Amino acid sequence: MEAPVETPDRLEGDKAQRILAAMRNSVATRGAAASTFDHVAREAGVSRGLLHYYFGSKERLLVEVCRGDCERQIARLEERLAPAASVDAIVAALVHGLEEFLSDDPGTQAVIYELLSASRHSEEIRQELAQLYRRWRAHLADALRAKQDEGVVQLQADPEAVASVLFALADGIGIQVASEPDWDSRPTFDVGIGVARRLLGSP
Query: Which residues contact residue 18 at a Cβ distance below 8 angstroms, ignoring those fewer than 6 apart?
Result: 44, 45, 46
Domain ranges of the chain: 1-56, 58-200
pTM listed for this prediction:
0.81
Q: Classify domain 1-56 by CATH architecture.
A: Orthogonal Bundle (1.10)
Fold assignment, 58-200: Tetracycline Repressor; domain 2 (1.10.357)
d(CA 160, CA 140): 8
d(CA 121, CA 125): 8
3-state helix, strand, coil in the chain (%, to 5): 75, 0, 25
Mean pLDDT of 3-32: 74
Confidence at residue 11, expressed as pLDDT on a 0 to 100 scale: 60
Report the run of H or E that residue 171 belongs to, with start and end. Answer: helix 159-179
CB 77 within 8 A of CB 93: yes
pLDDT in tens, 81-127: 999 999 999 999 999 888 888 876 666 777 788 778 878 888 878 88
Mean pLDDT of 14-25: 90
Confidence at residue 3, expressed as pLDDT on a 0 to 100 scale: 43
How many CB atoms are closer than 10 A to CB 158? 12
